Amino acid sequence: MSLLSILDRVADVSAFDKVIEPARKAVQVALRPQGLKDLLHGTWLGHTLHPVLVQVPVGSWISAGVLDAIPPLRPAATVLIGTGVAAAVPASLAGAADWSEQEVGVRRLGAIHAVANTAALGLYVGSLVARRNGRGGLGRVLSYSGLALATGSAAIGGHMSYAQSSGASHAATAARALTTDWIDLGPLDDLPEGRPALRTGKGGSVAVPLVAVRRGARVDVFIGACSHLSGPLYEGSVETVRGDECLVCPWHGSAFDLESGSPRRGPAANPQEKLEVKMTAGRVMARLPGRHE
Ligand code: FES
């Protein structure tokens, strides 16, 4: 069994949920203003914010580890450790916002990731205190211990991203099953006005759910699986969100601009995959854009 496959076993342990669920609810209450949540998810950026923010503490702490090995450069290491400690706060908040809207296995591993990161942060704060009190040797022991813990925690975070697809666009994954050929979605007149309708695209032998929204003579077509966690967008609704007409996911309420597919409300941070549309003899035709070829 590989080291990281042990994490999959951990993600199956339901006993953790007794502790995790109250923590998740507390995070959701603390971050309740939707604008704050969307800021932390990265909805405004069109990209998950947490992996962007963690570059600062990780880079600062690794660099501090190198500088600490060279005695004349140790004062600079202390500055970098302080920078990492300060930057860890917004990075943690962004991670907590994402974590609170993830599926159960990711939440279990995410809880371990958060505890390890908090412990690493505590070691770095202790290191700063020790350095300030003239106990440089202890400060270096604490910061190298923090670096080891943060590195292990980063491996857990990587497993959550790459093995459990947290933060990945589930719509982009679904789109890979489609070809870029034009797909006949049937007559325009069969589509209901102003609400999502399920249509199916053929991807080789696989049927890929699509969602079509008709507004008068205009039709917008998207991959049917929500970019956040594959929620069925064809069971969602059309609503005005922040001034734009949006397709809203029935699972966690993410809203995607019908014009562009850009997220207007989280938890989704990735855009929704949108298909090109044309009308042929009163029938709606759609295909994936060329970047999917
Ligand atoms: S699956 Fe979570 S918002 Fe769509």
**DSSP conformation letters of 49-99:** SHHHHTHHHHHHHHHHHHHHTSGGGHHHHHHHHHHHHHHHHHHHHHHHHHH
Q: Which of 100, 132, 162 is the last residue of a domain?
A: 162
- C-alpha 85/C-alpha 102 separation (Å) is 26
Task: Tell me what pLDDT residue 203 has.
Answer: 65
Judgement on whether residues 146 and 180 belong to the same structural domain of the protein? no
Task: Tell me what pLDDT residue 293 has.
Answer: 67
User: Average pLDDT, stretch 11-35?
Assistant: 90
Task: Tell me what pLDDT residue 180 has.
Answer: 82
Residue 225: pLDDT band with limits 50, 70, 90: very high
pLDDT tens digits, one per residue of 28-83: 999 989 999 999 999 999 999 999 999 999 999 999 999 999 999 999 999 999 99
- C-alpha 263/C-alpha 272 separation (Å) is 7
User: Average pLDDT, stretch 200-223?
Assistant: 89
- C-alpha 279/C-alpha 238 separation (Å) is 22
Q: Determine if ligand 1 sits within 6 Å of the CB of residue 95.
A: no
Tell which atom from ligand 1 comes closest to the C-alpha of 267. 3
**In angstroms, what is the span from residue 110 Cα to ligand 1's centroid?**
18
Q: Determine if ligand 1 sits within 6 Å of the CB of residue 227.
A: no
Residue-number span of the structural domain to which 152 is assigned: 5-162
Judgement on whether residues 158 and 226 belong to the same structural domain of the protein? no
Judgement on whether residues 16 and 119 belong to the same structural domain of the protein? yes
pTM of structure = 0.88
User: Average pLDDT, stretch 79-88?
Assistant: 98
Task: Tell me what pLDDT residue 226 has.
Answer: 97
Of all protein residues, whose CA lies closest to atom 2 belonging to ligand 1?
Answer: 252
Residue 44 DSSP SS3 = coil
Residue 274: pLDDT band with limits 50, 70, 90: very high
Other Cβ atoms less than 10 A from the Cβ of 120: the count is 25
Number of independent structural domains in the chain: 2
Tell which atom from ligand 1 comes closest to the C-alpha of 253. 3
Q: Which of 162, 197, 213 is the last residue of a domain?
A: 162
Residue 290: pLDDT band with limits 50, 70, 90: confident
